[in-house]
């Protein structure tokens, strides 16, 4: 499509709804669809488009005529630049309403499912400072504002923070992130200042060199703190001096770990993580249970709301004490152990060996004897042989990643034909797709959306299916 056709000005168009990936959607007077960033349903705006696709445009707002009643001031100085928190300019009550709407529409449109009345979405008490895990990137390619570029002043390009929206190689230097409570911001800012003072090099994503690469900070509701520093080069003197400085500045850190990762990507699951100070785990509490969380462990990133989510799962399961339960995509076995006291036995499965190791250790620590765990790719391990070895479950809980369940897993679920299926999802679109494959055998009895990620468009949804 020629440039003259994609760079169009639309005046005084109304933003009518939210869309995928945190965007908003507006309609022109001619009925054309335009997707926008940083817009809120109810805004009336002028837009210049920068991309045309079959059936829609993408554009940028150049003027506001009317601000939506759902709009509020973003609290973060990095809003609109940082790749996260895309709904921070929307009142929290409106966020909840649009998340609930998305779940409903996906279940109807994609799933083609006959729905009961949906339970109201479960919101949080505090929509900030809720994350227990944050991962920050170091880069010598800091994103610069137009003013900084035009100033002609030499600027330190080192940054530690998050990717600029839509740019894999540019990092926004984050001063204060409002998603994870202190000491998170203090630790990150201290490491940045130390690095500048001691001339430590930041990672170059293009040239694949440099020293500092990433920083993970994990916390618990009991105020334990884990810090994992990832470096690209093995330079013990530089690394150990930095780690010693962190411990001196933050003596209450529970676990200080590091990893030397020379790969092209910065994923840690295939790397050796070394504990430098303290223990190699932190501990989260939920009711009478304790969960040891390692650097590689999956744990819901909102601890307080995870408890609300698991209570929904437990309520939907309605266990009487004699049930065999499968917990697919179990992670560190949190759901499995949370419901085990009301079941005869729970069997959890996950693909990450470290997660299963943690699940087994947590079960021993919590003296839970009616759970067992197996490691394997779900579509390869969840087979007839698995069922013959473990017995026919009457209830299956499944909590897959964003992509949903593999079609082979869905088919095996249908062949197993449990009385009830509880499907926990962080992506209601793929959840609805999977439910559509099961609707001939199962009726949707209840659906409960749970807001785990305020200020973002993400939402968890739990559905209860009962065999027809």
Question: Which of 76, 82, 177, 426 does the annotation list as catalytic?
Answer: 426
- Sign, CA dihedral 11-14-19-24, equals positive
Strand blocks (E) in 206-279: 212-219, 225-231, 255-260, 274-278
Residue with tokens 């962190």: 246
- Check if the beta carbon of residue 173 is closer than 8 Å to that of residue 193: no
Residue 303 to residue 163: CA distance in whole angstroms: 25
The counts of H helices and E strands in the chain are: 12, 22
Residue 194 to residue 165: CA distance in whole angstroms: 27
Residue 189 to residue 161: CA distance in whole angstroms: 10
Looking at residue 1, what is its pLDDT? 36
Judged by phi (left if over 0) then psi (alpha if -120 to 50, else beta), residue 138 lies in beta
Rounded average pLDDT over 84-104: 96
| Mean pLDDT for the chain overall | 94
DSSP state, residue 198:
T
Question: Which residue ranges form the domains of the chain, and what is each CATH number?
Answer: 3-66 (2.40.50.140), 94-127+302-467 (3.40.50.150), 133-282 (2.40.50.1070)
> Per-residue pLDDT tens for 172-188?
999 999 999 999 999 99
Question: What residues pair up with 250 in beta bridges, in sequence order?
Answer: none
- Check if the beta carbon of residue 422 is closer than 8 Å to that of residue 398: yes
Q: Which of 28-37, 109-118, 189-198 has the highest mean pLDDT?
A: 189-198
Residue 99 to residue 198: CA distance in whole angstroms: 46
Looking at residue 5, what is its pLDDT? 65
The DSSP bridge pattern shows strands 255-260 and 225-231 to be: parallel
- Is the pLDDT higher at 400 or at 21? 400
Q: Active site includes 275? A: no
Strand blocks (E) in 54-102: 56-66
């Amino acid at each position: 499509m020629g440039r003259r056709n994609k760079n169009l000005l639309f005046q005084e168009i109304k933003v009518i709804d939210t869309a995928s990936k945190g965007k908003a959607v507006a309609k022109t007077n001619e009925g054309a669809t335009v997707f926008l960033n940083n817009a809120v349903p109810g805004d009336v705006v002028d837009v210049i488009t920068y991309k045309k696709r079959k059936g829609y445009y993408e554009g940028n707002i150049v003027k506001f005529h009317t601000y939506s009643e759902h709009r509020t001031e973003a609290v973060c100085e990095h809003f609109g630049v940082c790749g996260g928190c895309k709904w921070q300019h929307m009142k929290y009550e409106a966020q909840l309403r649009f998340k609930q709407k998305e779940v409903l529409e996906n279940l109807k449109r994609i799933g083609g499912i006959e729905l009961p009345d949906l339970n109201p979405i479960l919101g949080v008490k505090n929509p900030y400072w809720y994350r227990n895990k944050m991962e920050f990137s170091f880069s010598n390619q800091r994103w610069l504002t137009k003013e900084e570029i035009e100033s002609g002043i030499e600027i330190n390009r080192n940054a530690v923070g998050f990717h600029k929206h839509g740019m894999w190689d540019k990092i926004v230097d984050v001063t204060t992130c409002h998603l994870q409570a202190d000491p998170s911001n203090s630790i990150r800012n201290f490491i940045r200042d130390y690095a500048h003072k001691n001339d430590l090099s930041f990672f170059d994503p293009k040239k694949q060199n440099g020293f500092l690469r990433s920083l993970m900070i994990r916390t618990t509701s009991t105020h334990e703190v884990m810090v994992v520093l990832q470096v690209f080069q093995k330079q013990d003197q530089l690394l150990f001096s930095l780690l010693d400085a962190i411990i001196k500045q933050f003596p209450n850190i529970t676990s200080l770990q590091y990893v030397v990762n020379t790969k092209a990507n910065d994923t840690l699951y295939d790397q050796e993580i070394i504990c430098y100070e303290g223990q190699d785990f932190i501990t989260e509490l939920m009711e009478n249970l304790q969960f040891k969380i390692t650097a590689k462990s999956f744990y819901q990133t909102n601890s307080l709301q995870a408890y609300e989510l698991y209570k929904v799962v437990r309520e939907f399961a309605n266990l009487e004490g004699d049930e065999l339960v499968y917990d697919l995509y179990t992670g560190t076995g949190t759901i499995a152990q949370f419901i085990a006291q009301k079941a005869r036995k729970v069997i959890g499965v996950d693909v990450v060996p470290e997660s299963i190791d943690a699940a087994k250790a947590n079960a021993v620590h919590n003296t839970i004897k009616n759970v067992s765990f197996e490691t394997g790719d779900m579509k390869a391990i969840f087979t007839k042989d698995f069922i013959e070895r473990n017995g026919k479950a009457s209830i299956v809980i499944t909590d897959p990643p964003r992509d949903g369940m593999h079609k082979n897993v869905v088919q095996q679920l249908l062949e197993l034909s449990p009385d009830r299926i509880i499907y926990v999802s962080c992506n209601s679109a793929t959840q609805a797709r999977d439910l559509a494959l099961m609707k001939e055998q199962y009726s949707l009895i209840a659906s409960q959306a749970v807001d785990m990620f305020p200020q973002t468009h993400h939402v968890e949804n739990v559905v209860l299916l009962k065999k027809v």
